[in-house]
Structure 1
Amino acid sequence: MGALDGKVALVTGGSRGIGRAITERLARDGAVVAVAYARDRAAADEVVTRVRDTGGRAFAIQAELGVPGDAARLWAAFDAQVEAHAPGGGVDIIVNNAGIGCDRDLASLTEAEFDQVFAVNVRAPFFIVQHGLKRLRDGGRIINISSGAARLAMPNGIAYGSTKGALDTFTLNLAKELGARGITANSVAPGIIDTDINAGWLRDNPEAQANAGALAALGRVGQPEDVADIVAFLASDDARWVTGRVVDATGGSGL
């Protein structure tokens, strides 16, 4: 029996990188997982097939984030499919994982870039939760994927770090507001993770691997599964007494 048997989870950005690892782990623990993606249907279908081939349950839903009406469209896509996979509908676990980077310093950042990174990384999670509250069952879980950049000065990513700081504040307030319903809200803050996004400068580059790994007290670059396992814990009943926290998933970077 899995720790999440009978649960329904929504994972935004669930088809690639950290999101894919979260999808696969939650499904392995027994949850029915809605894999939300923006454009890459092939990647979403691939992870859904992988989950089903290993005995899990998942389905893909499409909604581009960072544009007006994104949360409403995402939940409409969810509602259209959930009954076929989990009779009764509703959701127990919301993982706000989708996000974009922004490698700009204060002087070079444009207003359009600022607006876009905040729209995807902050506004979308806010309204996904707002629209999802009527679907989120008592005792549910909200898990926001933040970043170690929220607590470290990184001037070349000032807007990105600011979005993750805002997301952590959002998490804190959700925990207070929703605690009476037994709903927990927590953030998970990864450091450098070996994903496709970082592949261009990190993979097949021993020097970059060594330099990135040296930033962590545990002496290596993080893997998507390192983050997914923490999310699985927070999604489970074992974490019922943890809420309003930012869980560091950087391997001890910046200590």
Structure 2
Amino acid sequence: MTSTSPITLITGGSRGLGAQMALALARDGHDIVLTYREAATAADAVVAQIQALGRRALALPLDVADAASFPGFVERVSAGLKAWGASQLDGLINNAGTGAHASFAETTPAQFDSMVAIHLKGPFFLTQALLPLLATGEKTGARVLNISSGLARFSITGYAAYAAMKGAVEVLTRYQAKELATRGIRVNTLAPGAIATDFGGGAVRDNAELNRFVASVTALGRVGEAEDIGGAAAALMRPGAGWITGQRVEASGGMFL
């Protein structure tokens, strides 16, 4: 069977924001390739949910901190596309990541290097490795969405290394948008605010005091949910958003305005 539906690859799609992005895009008619690092069971559950929506889905293991594994990963993606009767990706969302909570004074070189590998080197070289699979064309070029954080705009003690990487990703987005425009590829940043997921140990979700604080500094008066980010990502990947590139879109409910 030949694929005529858009196909989007989402890293870190087994849980949290990545899973909700995958489901939101599936509802918009996308077939999904999602990655996971260790949570194969959770990834399979997301695949089943996508399939229940009538879309195709494939889960592949990937450690975004291991750039040496990217050529082999691209081969597996290509094989998966071929099985669907396709040869190109219409979308790529660089979402996979983990947090690091430590003050600037106490951040270790190992923590910093981990953040670089996961949040900056990973998206940089994974996108580069996937370029041969990304659709091109003035109207049909692929959409790349790099996930940043509200912490690249406002500052909260304990996130210096993590936020520095996200700031770098936002600069990278602009360069990618400039250089890949000749291929018709659009590249944007989506920056979530504080979201009630298991990210960072689930502090925003599970710590009632922190939850109330976040709500108090958010214009819309509540903490964000993963579904809020899934919907925002889907909106930026729709055909009608094709004139948007090189931009940072924050989905934080108006946090710290």
Instruction: State the Cα distance separating 1:45 from its structure 2 match.
Output: 0.3
CA contact (8 A) 1:192 1:212 kept: yes
5 Å matches for 1:1-80?
A: 6-80=5-79
Point out the more displaced range, 41-50 or 210-219: 210-219
5 Å matches for 1:135-146?
A: 135-138=133-136, 139-146=141-148
Q: What TM-score results when the alignment is normalised by the length of structure 2?
A: 0.92
User: Does 2:69 align with 1:81?
Assistant: no
1:128 to 122, 126, 129: 126
5 Å matches for 1:226-245?
A: 226-245=228-247
Instruction: State the Cα distance separating 1:206 from its structure 2 match.
Output: 4.0
- Aligned-residue CA RMSD (Å): 1.5
1:222 to 213, 221, 224: 224
Q: Which amino acid aligns with 2:158?
A: N
Partner of 2:96: 98
Change (3 A) 1:203 1:169: closer
CA contact (8 A) 1:106 1:158 kept: yes
Q: What TM-score results when the alignment is normalised by the length of structure 1?
A: 0.93
Instruction: State the Cα distance separating 1:198 from its structure 2 match.
Output: 5.3
CA contact (8 A) 1:96 1:145 kept: yes
Instruction: State the Cα distance separating 1:204 from its structure 2 match.
Output: 5.3
- Between the aligned partners of 2:46 and 2:11, the Cα distance in structure 1 is 13
CA contact (8 A) 1:62 1:77 kept: no
Instruction: State the Cα distance separating 1:89 from its structure 2 match.
Output: 1.8
> What are the Cα deviations for residues 180-199 of structure 1, in whole angstroms up to 9, with x where unaligned?
22211000000111112256
Point out the more displaced range, 133-142 or 204-213: 204-213
* Residues paired across the two proteins, number: 250
- Between the aligned partners of 1:172 and 1:53, the Cα distance in structure 2 is 36
CA contact (8 A) 1:63 1:73 kept: no
Percent identical residues: 38
CA contact (8 A) 1:10 1:94 kept: yes
5 Å matches for 1:169-180?
A: 169-180=171-182
- Between the aligned partners of 2:199 and 2:64, the Cα distance in structure 1 is 18
CA contact (8 A) 2:143 2:186 kept: yes
CA contact (8 A) 1:35 1:61 kept: yes
- Between the aligned partners of 1:163 and 1:22, the Cα distance in structure 2 is 22
SS of residue matched to 1:69? helix
Partner of 1:167: 169
1:109 to 107, 110, 123: 107
CA contact (8 A) 2:26 2:53 kept: no
